[in-house]
C-alpha cells in the first residue's frame, strides 16, 4: 500500500455545461494552514455553450492561469477538476448566479465560497533585473523512509523576490511560495498552501544554502545548491513511451451508476482487426491517477503500453474524485472502488474491439485486493492478475510493512519490532474501541512523543477513516476462496509494503480451497513493491531507480495473459 509522503499540495481542471450562466470572474478565499488565500476563478463560455476556466491564487506569486481541466454544470451543481494539483471543487450556484458555495478537496475538504467580481485584481508580477540569487536551487529531503528532491525557482520582480517550488519525485510542480525573504545571508521561503517553510543561510560564494525545511510540525535538514545545468532537474525515465504509438489511444468516460460516479479513462487498442482480449488496470491505495503516478514514475502507462503492443486492449482510469473523474474519493472504501472497476468491465463489453469472453483485471497493491473481490462475484471476469495483492487483513499487513520499511531504512530490527508492536496496539484499538471519544483519547496518548504534536490530529483522522477501518478488517481470503477463474499472483522478493512471505502462502491456500485449478503464484527475485529491480526494496529507492517496471514482470504478465 502506498502511504502519504511529506509534501501535500493544497491548491486547485474543459467540458459541456448548461443551466445558469456562470461566465465571468469569481473571487473566493480559501483558509488553509493558517493562511487566507484569495482565489480568482475565470470562466468563459464558447459559442456552443461549452465552459472553460483557469484559476489564479493572487496572494501567491507565480500562481496564475492554473488550468481547470474539467468543468461541469448540471442545474446548479458546479464541479471542477484541476489536474496540476489533483484538486476538486464541488459547489452550488445560487439562484441569482452571484455566489457559489461549496467545498475544495485535496488532502482534506475545505469550505470555499466564490462571489462574482468586476473589480480589477492584481495577479501579475512584472519581472525586474535578476538578483544574484535568481535561478534554480535543488536539495534532497531525507524523510527516513524516502528521499525527496526539492527545487525552488527564484525570480526577482518589481514586487520583490518570488518563487515556485517543485517536488519532482512526487510529480508536483509550480507550488507557489507565499513569500520569499532575504536578509543578508539569510533566506526564508514560505509556502503556506502546503504548510511548509524553508529557512537557511547562504554560503559566502552564494553556491549553496544550508538550512531546514519545516512542515506539519516536523523539521528536517535541507541543503540547497544552485543548479548549473537544467538537465539536473529532469527525471530519467527511459521506459516512458514516445508518441506516435503503434496503436490507437482514446480518451473515454463511463458511469458507475450505482454510486453516481463518472470515470475518466484512457483506452488503448492494438492495431489489427480484433476482437482482442482486454484488461482493466486497478490502482493501489491512495488517490491515484490513471497512470498510477508515483515518485516520478508512471507504472500503469508503462504496463498499458507494453500490453497493448502485445495485442491486448487496456483500460486505465483516474480514481474517483481524482484527475478528471467525479466523486468523493475520501468517502469511499475498497468495496466502493471495486464498483468503479466493474463499471469499467461493463464499458469494455460495449466496445466492438473487445472479445467479451476475455476481459480480465490487473490490480496492483490495493488493486490486487480488489481484483479477486470482483472475480468472486462477477462471471464477466475471465482472469485476474494480482500484483503485490494481499492475502491477509490490513491489521496484519500494516505493522509488518512498517517493520520491514524501518529495517530497510537502517533501523535496528529490535527497534523496528518495538515500533511494530506499538502500531499493532493502536490498530487493535481502532478495530475494538466503539466509543469515538475514548478512542481518540487513547490514540492521542499512544502517539504523544512518537508523532509531532501538530500531526497527531491528522494521524488520528487517517487511521479512523472509513477506508482505513474497512481495510483493517477485510480478509481477502474470503473472496479468494470463491475465485475459480485463472489467477496470476506475483510479488517482488524485496517488496517491503506487501511482504511475499506473509501474503503469497495465504493466497495459494485460499485458491486451493476454492478448487481453482488454474492459478500461478510467483515471487520474482530482486524486485520491489513497484516491480523495479532494486537493491534493498526500501521506499527511498523508488525515485532513484530509473526503471519504472522490470521487463521480467512485464513479460511474466504479458505471456501469462496471452496463454489464457
What DSSP letter does each residue of 155-168 carry, written as one string? EEETTEEEEEEEEG
Q: Reply yes or no on whether the pLDDT at 131 is more than 80.
A: yes
Q: Reply yes or no on whether the pLDDT at 550 is more than 60.
A: yes
| pLDDT (0 to 100) of residue 122 | 52
How many CA atoms lie within 13 Å of 126's alpha carbon, on the beta-carbon side?
2
Instruction: Indicate the range of 6-20, 36-50, 95-109, 340-354 predicted with least confidence.
Output: 6-20
- Joined together, the cell numbers standing for residue 31 give 483558509
Overall average pLDDT of the 348-352 stretch? 97
Instruction: Indicate the range of 17-26, 92-101, 255-264, 357-366 predicted with least confidence.
Output: 17-26
Sign of CA dihedral 289, 164, 66, 57: positive
| pLDDT (0 to 100) of residue 34 | 56
DSSP 503: H
Overall average pLDDT of the 244-269 stretch? 97
Higher-confidence residue: 145 or 513?
Answer: 513
Question: Distances from the Cα of 315 to the Cαs of 333, 405, 423, in angstroms?
Answer: 21, 32, 37
SS3 85: helix
Considering 128-142, 160-174, 231-245, 549-563, the range whose residues carry the highest mean pLDDT is 549-563
The answer for residues whose C-beta is within 8 angstroms of residue 282's C-beta and 6 or more apart is 337, 341, 361, 362, 363, 364, 366, 367, 368, 370, 371
Overall average pLDDT of the 413-427 stretch? 95
| pLDDT (0 to 100) of residue 364 | 98
| pLDDT (0 to 100) of residue 310 | 98
- In tens, the pLDDT along 287-305 reads 999 999 998 899 999 999 9
Phi-psi region of 274 (alpha: psi -120 to 50; beta: other; left: phi over 0): left
Q: Reply yes or no on whether the pLDDT at 60 is more than 70.
A: no
Q: Which residue has the cell 539536473?
A: 232
- Residues facing residue 103 across a β-bridge: 90, 111
| Residue 61 pLDDT grade (very low, low, confident, very high; cuts 50, 70, 90) | low
SS3 128: coil
Overall average pLDDT of the 493-503 stretch? 97
C-alpha of 370 from chain center: 17
| Residue 7 pLDDT grade (very low, low, confident, very high; cuts 50, 70, 90) | very low
Question: Distances from the Cα of 461 to the Cαs of 53, 272, 434, 466, 549, in angstroms?
Answer: 33, 50, 15, 10, 33
SS3 84: helix
Q: Do domains 15-116 and 247-393+474-563 have the same CATH topology?
A: no
CA-based nearest residue to 461, from 107, 220, 147: 107
The answer for residues whose C-beta is within 8 angstroms of residue 440's C-beta and 6 or more apart is 460, 464
Q: What share of the chain is helix, strand, coil (3-state, %, to 5)?
A: 25, 35, 35
Domain 247-393+474-563 class? alpha beta
Overall average pLDDT of the 204-208 stretch? 95
Strands (E), 227-312: 247-256, 261-270, 276-282
| Residue 12 pLDDT grade (very low, low, confident, very high; cuts 50, 70, 90) | very low
Residue 129 burial (10 A CB sphere; 0-12, 13-18, 19+): exposed
Overall average pLDDT of the 170-189 stretch? 87
Overall average pLDDT of the 483-503 stretch? 98
The answer for residues whose C-beta is within 8 angstroms of residue 119's C-beta and 6 or more apart is none
| pLDDT (0 to 100) of residue 349 | 97
What number does CATH give the domain 135-229?
2.40.128.20
Question: Distances from the Cα of 125 to the Cαs of 24, 29, 54, 70, 137, in angstroms?
Answer: 22, 20, 18, 27, 21
Overall average pLDDT of the 544-562 stretch? 97
| pLDDT (0 to 100) of residue 17 | 29
Domain 15-116 belongs in CATH node 2.40.128.120: yes
Q: Which residue has the cell 482565489?
A: 39
Mean pLDDT score of the chain = 89
- In tens, the pLDDT along 83-122 reads 776 778 999 998 888 899 999 887 667 899 999 887 655 5
Q: Reply yes or no on whether the pLDDT at 32 is more than 80.
A: no
| pLDDT (0 to 100) of residue 15 | 28
| Residue 187 pLDDT grade (very low, low, confident, very high; cuts 50, 70, 90) | very high
Alpha helices in 51-183 (DSSP H): none
DSSP string, 370-434: HHHHHHTT-TT--EEEEES--SS-HHHHHHHHHHHHHHHTT--HHHHHHHHHHHHHHHHHHHH--
| pLDDT (0 to 100) of residue 201 | 97
SS3 87: strand
| Residue 10 pLDDT grade (very low, low, confident, very high; cuts 50, 70, 90) | very low
| pLDDT (0 to 100) of residue 313 | 98
Rounding to the nearest 10 degrees, give the CA dihedral for residues 542, 146, 141, 236.
0
Q: Reply yes or no on whether the pLDDT at 312 is more than 60.
A: yes
H or E element at residue 466 = helix 466-473
Q: Reply yes or no on whether the pLDDT at 33 is more than 80.
A: no
Question: Are 257 and 245 spatial neighbours (Cβ–Cβ below 8 Å)?
Answer: no
pTM of the model: 0.76
| pLDDT (0 to 100) of residue 173 | 78
| Residue 234 pLDDT grade (very low, low, confident, very high; cuts 50, 70, 90) | confident
Q: Reply yes or no on whether the pLDDT at 189 is more than 80.
A: yes
| pLDDT (0 to 100) of residue 6 | 34
Q: Cα–Cα distance between 490 and 323 in angstroms, integer?
A: 29
Q: Cα–Cα distance between 117 and 121 in angstroms, integer?
A: 9
- In tens, the pLDDT along 361-384 reads 999 999 999 999 999 999 999 999
| Residue 123 pLDDT grade (very low, low, confident, very high; cuts 50, 70, 90) | low
H or E element at residue 512 = helix 500-513
CA-based nearest residue to 41, from 75, 73, 8: 73
Structural domain spans, the chain: 15-116, 135-229, 247-393+474-563, 395-471
Residue 506 burial (10 A CB sphere; 0-12, 13-18, 19+): middle
Q: Reply yes or no on whether the pLDDT at 5 is more than 50.
A: no
| pLDDT (0 to 100) of residue 11 | 26
| pLDDT (0 to 100) of residue 13 | 26
Amino acid at each position: 500500500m502506498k502511504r502519504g509522503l511529506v509534501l501535500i499540495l493544497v491548491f486547485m481542471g474543459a467540458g459541456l455545461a448548461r443551466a445558469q450562466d456562470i461566465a465571468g470572474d469569481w473571487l473566493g478565499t480559501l483558509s488553509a494552514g493558517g493562511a487566507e488565500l484569495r482565489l480568482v476563478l475565470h470562466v468563459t463560455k464558447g459559442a456552443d455553450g461549452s465552459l472553460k476556466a483557469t484559476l489564479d491564487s493572487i496572494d501567491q506569486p507565480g500562481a496564475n492561469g492554473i488550468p481547470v481541466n474539467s468543468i461541469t454544470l448540471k442545474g446548479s451543481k458546479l464541479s471542477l477538476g484541476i489536474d496540476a494539483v489533483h484538486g476538486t471543487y464541488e459547489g452550488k450556484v445560487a439562484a441569482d448566479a452571484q455566489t457559489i458555495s461549496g467545498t475544495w478537496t485535496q488532502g482534506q475538504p475545505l469550505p470555499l465560497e466564490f462571489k462574482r467580481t468586476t473589480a480589477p485584481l492584481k495577479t501579475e508580477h512584472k519581472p525586474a533585473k535578476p538578483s544574484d540569487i535568481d535561478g534554480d536551487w535543488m536539495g534532497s529531503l531525507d524523510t527516513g523512509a524516502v528521499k525527496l528532491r526539492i527545487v525552488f525557482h527564484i525570480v526577482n520582480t518589481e514586487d520583490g523576490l518570488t518563487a515556485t517550488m517543485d517536488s519532482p519525485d512526487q510529480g508536483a510542480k509550480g507550488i507557489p511560495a507565499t513569500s520569499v525573504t532575504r536578509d543578508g545571508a539569510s533566506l526564508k521561503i514560505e509556502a503556506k498552501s502546503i504548510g511548509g517553510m524553508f529557512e537557511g543561510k547562504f554560503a559566502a560564494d552564494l553556491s549553496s544554502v544550508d538550512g531546514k525545511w519545516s512542515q506539519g510540525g516536523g523539521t528536517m535538514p535541507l541543503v540547497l545548491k544552485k543548479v548549473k545545468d537544467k538537465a539536473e532537474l529532469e527525471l530519467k525515465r527511459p521506459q516512458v513511451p514516445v508518441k506516435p504509438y503503434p496503436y490507437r489511444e482514446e480518451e473515454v468516460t463511463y458511469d458507475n451508476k450505482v454510486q453516481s460516479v463518472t470515470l475518466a479513462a484512457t483506452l488503448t487498442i492494438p492495431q489489427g482487426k480484433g476482437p482482442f482480449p482486454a484488461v482493466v488496470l486497478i490502482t493501489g491505495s491512495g488517490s491515484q491517477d490513471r497512470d498510477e503516478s508515483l515518485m516520478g514514475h508512471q507504472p500503469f502507462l508503462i504496463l498499458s503500453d507494453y500490453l497493448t503492443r502485445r495485442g491486448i486492449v487496456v483500460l486505465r482510469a483516474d480514481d474517483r474524485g481524482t484527475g478528471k473523474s467525479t466523486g468523493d474519493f475520501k468517502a469511499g472504501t475498497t468495496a466502493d472502488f471495486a464498483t468503479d472497476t466493474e463499471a469499467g468491465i461493463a464499458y469494455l463489453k460495449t466496445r466492438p474491439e473487445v472479445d467479451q469472453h476475455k476481459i480480465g483485471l490487473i490490480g496492483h497493491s490495493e488493486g490486487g485486493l480488489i481484483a479477486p473481490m470482483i472475480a468472486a462475484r462477477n462471471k464477466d471476469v475471465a482472469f485476474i492478475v494480482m500484483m503485490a495483492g494481499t492475502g491477509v487483513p490490513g491489521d496484519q499487513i500494516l505493522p509488518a510493512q512498517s517493520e520491514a520499511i524501518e529495517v530497510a531504512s537502517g533501523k535496528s530490527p529490535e527497534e523496528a519490532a518495538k515500533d511494530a508492536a506499538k502500531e499493532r496496539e493502536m490498530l487493535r484499538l481502532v478495530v475494538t474501541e466503539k466509543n469515538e471519544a475514548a478512542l481518540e483519547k487513547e490514540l492521542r496518548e499512544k502517539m504523544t512523543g512518537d508523532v509531532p504534536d501538530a500531526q497527531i490530529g491528522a494521524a488520528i483522522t487517517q487511521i479512523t477513516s472509513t477506508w482505513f477501518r474497512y481495510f483493517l478488517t477485510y480478509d481477502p481470503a474470503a473472496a479468494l476462496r470463491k475465485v475459480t477463474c485463472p489467477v496470476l499472483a506475483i510479488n517482488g522478493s524485496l517488496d517491503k509494503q506487501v511482504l511475499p512471505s506473509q501474503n503469497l502462502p495465504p493466497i495459494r491456500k485460499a485458491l486451493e480451497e476454492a478448487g481453482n485449478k488454474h492459478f500461478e503464484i510467483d515471487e520474482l527475485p530482486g524486485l520491489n513493491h513497484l516491480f523495479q529491480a532494486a537493491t534493498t526494496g526500501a521506499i527511498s529507492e523508488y525515485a532513484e531507480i530509473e526503471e519504472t517496471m522490470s521487463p521480467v514482470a512485464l513479460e511474466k504478465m504479458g505471456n501469462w495473459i496471452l496463454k489464457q
